[in-house]
Structure 1
Amino acid sequence: MADARNHSAGHYMLSLDGEPSIVRKFDGGNISAEVVVHNMGPTNVQMKHISTLKFEPFTLEIGMSMGKSLYEWIQASFDMAHIRKNGYMAAADFNYKAKSYRHFRDALITEVGFPALSGASKDPAYFTVKFDPEEITYAPGDDAALKGVVNTKQKKWLASNFRVKIGDLPCASVSEVAAFSWKQGTVEDAVGEFRVNAKEPSKVEVPNINLTIGAKDLKPWSDWFTEFVIKGNNGQEAELSGTIEYLSPNTGEVLGAVELFNVGIFKLTEQTTESNKDAIKRFTVDLYCETMKLRLDYV
């Protein structure tokens, strides 16, 4: 019987600036190459060869155990600082022994996803973080024990516990916040002398926010919509600021928050309901914001 054996998958760790962070889910980080085809002419056989190397972005699902390095990297990206990071992803077996490494160089964050929130949810909540490196290298595992940052706040973070504040508008009956993602594009700078292309940051997309709210609060939201959208009084002085706070199960502790700036309303929709159906009457609003920040006070 062979000595080498397969092992179970499922344990991952991100290392940034020497700081480890436990990752719930990991995808991407693969290396591939473009294939060039030559139609030679004398025969029907096509000639092929390898051209430019391609390095896939990493996509991580991670909670409030992300660690200080990743948190500060996200903050800097939201502030348009465009910081590049080096590090590695480690994959381990069920005993947390490292079986492979994917080292990356000069990575830029390209997406930060925020989970859907619902008062009826029973699920834990996680962020999605995507970053795009200029180069990736593979390395075999060395059976080192992986030990990441496990913050107790993550055990308290549920998708059902949250609080929304938008200016002075009533928000106590907000029942759902749709998932949203901040995105930053990258463009490749191909130089003939090198097989590995440089990558530069491009435009930033700040997401819109969708809220579901109880009908008892419809009038003040409808009044703002009428003034802001229909009457056209929507200058910068009419925009609001707000927060989406992540709360502990007893709602007495703020675990973190997304801060929203220059918020405006552009759509208000009353949800349709059937006659004699057991359902709470609600409406939805769609908001834009110009900038946002992630705040995790414990990091």
Structure 2
Amino acid sequence: MATNTQARTYAAAHFSLELDGKDEVSLFRSIEGGSIKADVMTYQHGANYDRWRQLGKPKFEDIKVQCGMSMSKPFYKWIEEFFTGKAVRKNGAIIAADFYYIERARREFTQAMIKELTFPKLDGSDKNAAYMNISMAVEGIVFKKGDGKKLAPPKMDAQKLWTACNFRFRLDSFEQACKRVSKIDSFTVKQNVIDYHAGGARAPIKCPSQVDFPQLSFYVPESDAQPFLEHFAKRGVAGERPGHLTGMIQTFDNDGTDLFTLSFKGADIVNVQPDKSDSGSEDIKQVKIDIYTESMSFAYVDVQTTG
């Protein structure tokens, strides 16, 4: 009687991340990318219509992960270094596990650098968990079979710590006007990565370039917007000499314990835009304020250590 020797299938809901051989980086919400592609080279002879094709250089797709606050301190230390412009490279693996958290497959990557980091929209009326999207550029990927090791169970309580409504926004010299900030739009910090193709090498070397810090957009009630309007009238309209501002975004859990702080420097207001007035609306009239930034820094608070 023939027996089925095929391995059992498993769901895509259990996975983990290793960095530099450490498996305590914990779980993240989702992952995409991390595939291997190759260009197709076409050659056509001038004497006929035949075409010959062959594979060119391999391309390793960026790895994109979505995580909340369930990641461990080494991972957030990597994020802190990304904000300073240090292109810290790490080797690691994406681990796929079955229902029992047994390792079934792994994708090992080398020379990974953080390329983009997108912060979610923060909204005082949103009670859902918040997640960051992180893109990593890699120089190599190898697919391997899992070794059957059991992964550590996820710390689900830590994952639920960060909700979109738990934040504070501060802009120095506007502390009173910022006490009722209702939301902050999503924004992305980018590390430009340049591909360097060396002779004889199959794949390019990933070289870091400058870090691009974005504009921030936040919303306040129109009754609190007058200080921002006066400031922009002096700087943006009258052309007074700019004086750079500083500030921060601070996140915390439901108990008020700090999670991380995102500080920014070299900022100033570039736009003050009131909401549309509508006779049928019952929403609070708000004003959107855009500021540019020259630099940012990320400081993670280890909840387990401080708690």
Distance 1:151 1:73, change over 3 A: farther
Report the 3-state secondary structure (helix = DSSP H, G, I; strand = E; otherwise coil) of the residue aligned with 1:278: coil
CA offsets 1:215-243 (integer angstroms, 9 cap, x no match): 111111111111221122243xx111111
Report the 3-state secondary structure (helix = DSSP H, G, I; strand = E; otherwise coil) of the residue aligned with 1:277: coil
The whole-number CA distance in structure 2 between the counterparts of 1:8 and 1:220 is 54
Aligned to 1:10: 13
Contact between 2:122 and 2:164, CA under 8 Å: does it hold in 1?
yes
Structure 1 position 108, deviation (Å):
1.1
Aligned mate of 2:226, from 203, 210, 219: 219
Aligned to 2:131: 126
CA offsets 1:234-265 (integer angstroms, 9 cap, x no match): 43xx1111111112225x32221211111111
Structure 1 position 29, deviation (Å):
0.7
Whether 2:59 is the aligned partner of 1:54: answer yes
The whole-number CA distance in structure 1 between the counterparts of 2:236 and 2:92 is 47
Report the TM-score when normalising by structure 1.
0.94
Aligned to 1:274: 278
Contact between 2:85 and 2:210, CA under 8 Å: does it hold in 1?
no
Structure 1 position 151, deviation (Å):
7.6
The whole-number CA distance in structure 1 between the counterparts of 2:240 and 2:106 is 55
Report the 3-state secondary structure (helix = DSSP H, G, I; strand = E; otherwise coil) of the residue aligned with 1:34: strand
Which deviates more, 183-192 or 13-22?
13-22
Amino acid at match of 1:197: P
Aligned to 1:174: 181
Whether 2:268 is the aligned partner of 1:264: answer yes
Whether 2:92 is the aligned partner of 1:90: answer no
Amino acid at match of 1:5: R
Structure 1 position 34, deviation (Å):
1.0
Distance 1:253 1:137, change over 3 A: same
The CA RMSD over aligned residues, in Å, is 1.6
Which deviates more, 12-21 or 27-36?
12-21
Aligned to 1:135: 140
Whether 2:194 is the aligned partner of 1:191: answer no
Amino acid at match of 1:2: N
Amino acid at match of 1:262: G
CA offsets 1:57-88 (integer angstroms, 9 cap, x no match): 10000111221222111111211111111111
Contact between 1:9 and 1:94, CA under 8 Å: does it hold in 2?
no
Aligned to 2:293: 289
Report the 3-state secondary structure (helix = DSSP H, G, I; strand = E; otherwise coil) of the residue aligned with 2:25: strand
Distance 1:20 1:298, change over 3 A: closer
Amino acid at match of 2:213: V
Distance 1:88 1:50, change over 3 A: same
Report the 3-state secondary structure (helix = DSSP H, G, I; strand = E; otherwise coil) of the residue aligned with 1:73: helix
Structure 1 position 10, deviation (Å):
1.5
Aligned to 1:255: 259
Alignment of 1:142-157 (within 5 A): 142-147=147-152, 150=155, 152-157=157-162
| Uncovered stretches (5+) of structure 1, i.e. residues with no partner | none
Aligned to 2:244: 239
Aligned to 1:70: 75
Structure 1 position 5, deviation (Å):
2.2
Contact between 2:190 and 2:213, CA under 8 Å: does it hold in 1?
yes
The number of residues matched between the two structures is 296
Report the 3-state secondary structure (helix = DSSP H, G, I; strand = E; otherwise coil) of the residue aligned with 1:228: helix
Amino acid at match of 1:269: Q
Contact between 1:206 and 1:289, CA under 8 Å: does it hold in 2?
yes
Aligned to 1:39: 44
Contact between 1:115 and 1:178, CA under 8 Å: does it hold in 2?
yes
Distance 1:220 1:121, change over 3 A: same
The whole-number CA distance in structure 1 between the counterparts of 2:25 and 2:156 is 12
The whole-number CA distance in structure 2 between the counterparts of 1:110 and 1:216 is 39
Amino acid at match of 2:204: N
Structure 1 position 145, deviation (Å):
1.1
